[in-house]
Structure formats: C-alpha cells, structure tokens
Amino acid sequence: MIFVFLLLSVMTEHVSPLGLIKDPPVQCSQEGLSCSFNISKSQCSHEGWVKLRQDCPMLPEVQADVSFKADESEDMVPILLLTITEPADGSIFSLQGTEVHVREVTTNSSLCIRYMFPKKITSILTPDMKPWSFTLDRVVVNPGLTYNVSVSNLPKPDVGSQAVVQNIVVPGCTEDPSIQKLTVCLENGSLWDPNPTWSFSDTENDGGVITVTFNTGKFSELYIVGLHHPDFDTNFSLPVSKDNCTSVNVTFWLNALQLKHSVFVLVIKPFFVRCMNSCSEYQKKLRIPEKVQICSCPEINITNRQYFSWAVFGLAGLVICAFYAALLHSNSKEDSYSSSYNTSDKEEVESVPVQRPSKVFIIYSLDHPLYKEIVLKLCAFLRAKCGTEVTLDLLDFTWLSTVGSIQWLDMQREKLSRSSDKVLILCSPGVYAKWKGMCGGRRVMTREDVRSPMGDMLSPALSLIVPDFVHASSFHKYIVAYLDDVCNEKDVPGLFNVAVKYQLMKHFEELFFRLIDKEKHEPGRIKQVDGISGDDYFNSSPGRALKDAIEAFQAYQMANPNWFEMELVDADREVEENDLEWDCTCVLQNQLWATEITTPALVNSIGDQMHEAKPVTPNAESTVLDVSLNGIYPTATLMSTLSSHISHLGNPNKAAEAVVASL
C-alpha cells in the first residue's frame, strides 16, 4: 500500500494543466522572414519590451479554437489552435517578435511563447502578397478547464492596449463526443463507471456483513471505499488497491446497533493519474431490506410475585439515586471552577467542508517579480481550495485599463461598502516604505511599479481605506496578513496595529474562517478544513505551486540580503525629472498621493491642563488613527492631482476631488 501512495505521488508531479508538444522542433521561419521559437513555463516578462507608442507595432489578429493532435507518444490530445495574423500596415517595420501567454485560470499555471524576428522586416506582405501569419498548435490543454490567452506584438506600447486577450473553455469529456475517446479522458476518469453491486448477510452475533463489488478503472490504482451514515460516530472507509483486477470486493462488518439504520451512502473515491485528489467521487444509496432481523429475543413469562419483587427493587433504587443526586449537587459548586479548565481536553476536532463561497479584495505592493508570482499563486490557491472569489488588479487588467486606477479602486470600495466582502492587506517591505512616504517621509516606488502599466496601485488604495480605520465599526472588513517566510511583522505599518495580524501560511486556516465569518473554536469542538493549514496546504497542486513560489523568493533573498534597497526608486526624483511643480503632490501613472501638513492646534482641556498639538516630523509615521491619543488632534490637508496621462477620463481633476472629498 505504501508503494501505491509513492507511485501516485510521483505521477502527480508530471500531471499539469498545461503541456507542450516539443517534437518535431518548431520551424517558424518563412521566405523573407527569419524567426526563432522560445518557450518558458512562467509569466511573460515586460522588462525591456515597453517603449513609446509611436515606436511599437499594431496588435495582431488572433483566431483561437480547440483542436486535436498526436503527441510524442502518438496519443491524440486536445490542443489550443491559434492563428496569428500580423498587421498589414507600416507599423510592421518596428515588429521584433510576437508573444503568446497562456494561463490556466484555476491554478495560474502559465506558458510564455515567443516568436522572435532577429532581422528587421522589410516587407508589409509575404511574397504571396498575404499578411504575415503564424499557426501555434503545440500547447496541450485539459478537458473541462478554462484558459486565458494573451497575444501581443513586441515591443509593447507604454500606453493603450498591449495585448489581444481571449478566454477559451475546453469542452469536458462528457460534453463533446469527439473528446470522449481521447486518452486524457480515460486518465482523468470521466468515462469510468464503477457499476457497484452489493449484498447483505446476517452473522451469528446479531450483526451483519455488507459486501460491495465495483469495476475498477484503467488509470486508477487506488480507491477509497466508504459506507456513511449521519448518525455514525465514525464512518467506515477502506483503501483498496486494484492489483490488476477489473473488479474488486470490499466487506464491511456492522453490529446490530449500526444496522438499525436501513439507508447508507456508498462512496467510492478513485485516484486517476490526471486528477488525483480532485477526482470526482461516486455515490450511491444502499437500503437494507426491512425483513432483515437484527436480533431476536425469547418470550419471557412474568408472574405476580415477580412483579412485586421488581417494584420493591425499583423503589429502593429510586431512593439511592435521590441520595446520590443530592450529594452531587452539594459538590457541584466546588467542582465548577476546576472543571472549566478541563473543557479544552474534551473538545472534538471536526472537519468542515467549504460550503459558502467568499469574496476578498487583495491589496499588496509590487515589491519584486518573484513576490508578484507569490501573490498570483496565493490567489489561485484561494480560488481552488477555498472557493473564494478574488479581486486583484493583475487579474482585472482589461477593465482597470479602461476606467483608470483611481476609478477602479473607488468602484471596489463602493462594492465593499454594500456587501460583506473582505479586504486582505498583504504587508511587505514595500507596504511599510510607501506608507512612511505617505506620512511625510521619502516617497518611493519599486522597479516593478515602474515596469507595470498600472504603476503603484498600493498608495491610492491606502488613501481610500485610511478613513475606515478611524471607525471601529469598519475593522471587521479588513484582514492584515504577511507571508512570514519572506516578510516579517516589522513590515506591518502602525496604521494596522488595531487589527489582528495573520502569519501566512501558518495561520491561513484561521484567515479562511475569518473570510466566511465563522468561528474556528466553538464550545466542545474545533472546526478545521482539510488541505489549507500550514502543515498540509502544499499537498495540492495550487498549494505546491504557492510553496514553490515562496521558496524561490526565499532563495533570492538569501542570495541578495539588500534586495529591497536594490528595487527602490525615488518617486520624488521622478517628479523633478518630469519638471512638475515641487510644491504640488504628484500623481504618477494615474495614482493618488496624499501629503500631510501639520500645524499646532489647541484642544479642550483634559483635567486642569491645556495641550498643544506637536508638529509631525517628516520621518514620523502617520497619526491618523491616534486622533484621541493624549488629547492631541493633528490637522491634515490632503492635496491630490491626477496625471495628464489619463485624458480618457474626461475631467480628471473632478475625479481626484471626489476621491479626496470622500476621505
């Protein structure tokens, strides 16, 4: 049995929602066009590929579909079929390559494919007088999954749309007859029919035996067969190995008390090589015939003398019970205090399923490309394992680029005010540094902020949520956390000291119960959710991907102890280089910055003394939350302007004034 588990764990490592047919090698060169084909299993990097709009080619036309092709082992597999047609205009002379980014939505697994043109294109059309085009038919996908395809030309423009984005849903094995016969559908168990049969027989000890027989699948070596009933203290579950058999038998021994329940639920969980722990369970109700006799009792003849004897003994028993009840009652007060310390020992651990979906808006800082990868993997883990709907700027780029960052953030705040959704604030060195900059210190940005078309989204987000931290009634909406493997508690700004801070992934299970507004600890029991605690979250595919991303960033931090200083960019210097007014607060790439100006102010007397507000030093952290501390009230003026880059918003100044007015 141990060998079976080891075999399954090894096979799991090779199962991925994204694959690539490598043989024969891709030849993308054409007559009059030199081309090379590159691929990597990661996010596509924008570094070095963002230039001025007038120096970039137009977007290509993309036709996407699902087709079938033989892989290296001659098995037919579903693939993404992409036909990319380049623009037939003068912008093609600046074309240096075409980038295809494919991402599986559930796990965030990615492939980055690039067609690179080392030589400058000298003709708008091919020798056949047709637009230049390419066909990509090497990306292997899985039935029933959704894929996000983004196609862009290189270099990419600094403003405007950078890519053609499409979502492609691959039909499931049971939805499309053309897919049903593929090996992939056999490997994920979509066509498996266990066709279980069962029989019942009595035993000599007033119990019974239920024997279940079911058909095995070709690509599943292990099964867990269970017999469940809501009134059972423990459910019967047995692991079964196929051992090259087409059908197996499983026997359950039940006592007379358990056989009182005439209806049971048979559950068979397979472990096919393509789905493993996420394979669908087979369930069927089993009903024991009512004619089955659980136990038989001999007839007893009772005489009048026996009635009298039993009455005397019964009366004596009642007197003794009353005496002991009075004795116990007199000692109950003495024992009540000490017994309270023993309740925790009697608590039972109860596994609860994820029933109620939750929604969360994540606020974070783009500290480093590896940290961004961690945030994306965390979102995928929340979606896959917790059923949580995640709102993240990186996952809503199309709508964000349409309405602008300030309007997008304000829309999220409006949604939060009308719902029970939560805000998860992921603290990191960038969060602390940018918060200090908002409080009068040196304003900074990271290199990843500069590379991102969205810019720094954290600072305007903090400006919008700061007023909520003045009112205790709003605290329940905000969850403060940090990844203790790559960050620490010092990265949490003082603004959030009023909230509970969660260490991830150590306290992820507690954070999950906070998301769904449930208590983990209740009198007499402790709730838990399998597969999301710090000890076992990495046993699933999304959890493994998250752990790998964390370990990759850890390794980078150990090799570069001053990594954060290397990533910082002085925002004030950026302002001076752009010849903006030094006294104004600047908005870079549609961002809102708040400058705090403090002056002494007299307040009401406390006791017999008057207190005067002290000026806030440039390096002091904001005192927004300390409005009643020692009777000192700082005065603040929030000034904001919007970048001239967001001309599509109509009147940006009114948008900024509306945001500041809401603060």
Fold assignment, 17-186 = Immunoglobulin-like (2.60.40)
pLDDT of residue 353: 56
- Separation of alpha carbons 356 and 98, rounded Å: 42
The tokens for 430 are 């960038």
Pick from 179-183, 218-222, 625-629 the range whose average pLDDT is largest: 218-222
Question: How crowded is residue 342: how many other Cβ atoms within 10 Å of its Cβ?
Answer: 8
pLDDT of residue 48: 84
pLDDT (tens digit per residue) in 7-26: 444 444 445 667 888 888 88
pLDDT of residue 45: 81
Query: 530 Cβ partners below 8 Å, 6+ apart?
Result: 351, 536
- pLDDT class of 57 with cuts at 50, 70, 90: very high
pLDDT of residue 116: 93
pLDDT (tens digit per residue) in 273-312: 877 777 888 888 887 765 444 444 343 444 455 555 666 6
Q: Where are the domains of the chain?
A: 17-186, 192-287, 359-568
**Coil, strand or helix at 620:** coil
- pLDDT class of 660 with cuts at 50, 70, 90: very low
Both ends of the chain: CA-CA distance in Å? 62
Residue 316 has pLDDT above 90, yes or no: no
Q: Residue 50 in contact with residue 96, Cβ under 8 Å?
A: no
Pairing assessment for the beta strands 110-116 and 36-40 based on DSSP bridges: antiparallel
- pLDDT class of 626 with cuts at 50, 70, 90: very low
pLDDT of residue 82: 94
- Separation of alpha carbons 69 and 67, rounded Å: 7
Pick from 182-186, 203-207, 564-568, 655-659 the range whose average pLDDT is largest: 564-568
> Among 581, 572, 593, which Cα is nearest to 660's?
593
pLDDT of residue 206: 63
Q: What is the mean pLDDT of residues 391-418?
A: 84
> Among 94, 10, 104, which Cα is nearest to 54's?
94
- pLDDT class of 231 with cuts at 50, 70, 90: low
- pLDDT class of 481 with cuts at 50, 70, 90: very high
Task: Give me the percent of the chain exceeding a pLDDT of 90.
Answer: 19
- pLDDT class of 6 with cuts at 50, 70, 90: very low
Exposure string (b/e) for 294-325, b if CB count within 10 Å is 16 or more? beeeeeeeeeeeeeeeeeeeeeeeeeeeeeee
Q: Do domains 192-287 and 359-568 have the same CATH topology?
A: no
How many Cα atoms sit within 13 Å of 575 on the Cβ side? 20
Of 616 and 109, more confident: 109
Pick from 314-323, 366-375, 509-518, 520-529 the range whose average pLDDT is largest: 366-375
pLDDT (tens digit per residue) in 241-261: 888 888 999 888 777 666 666
- Separation of alpha carbons 239 and 221, rounded Å: 11
Residue 438 has pLDDT above 80, yes or no: yes
- Separation of alpha carbons 586 and 455, rounded Å: 13
> Among 640, 651, 166, 570, which Cα is nearest to 404's?
651
Residue 117 has pLDDT above 70, yes or no: yes
Q: What is the mean pLDDT of residues 498-527?
A: 80
CATH number of 192-287: 3.30.450.40, 2.60.40.2150, 2.30.40.10, 3.40.1350.10? 2.60.40.2150
Q: ∠ CA 22-28-33 to the nearest 5 degrees?
A: 165
Residue 236 has pLDDT above 80, yes or no: no
> Mean pLDDT lowest for which of 211-225, 450-464, 615-629, 649-663?
615-629
Of 308 and 569, more confident: 569
Within 471-532, strands assigned E span 478-483, 501-504, 521-522, 525-528
pLDDT of residue 1: 42
Instruction: Give the mean pLDDT of the chain.
Output: 75
- pLDDT class of 99 with cuts at 50, 70, 90: very high
Fold assignment, 359-568 = Rossmann fold (3.40.50)
Query: 361 Cβ partners below 8 Å, 6+ apart?
Result: 391, 392, 412, 415, 416, 421, 422, 423, 424
pLDDT (tens digit per residue) in 166-175: 999 998 887 7
pLDDT of residue 16: 61
pLDDT of residue 376: 92
- Separation of alpha carbons 568 and 444, rounded Å: 6
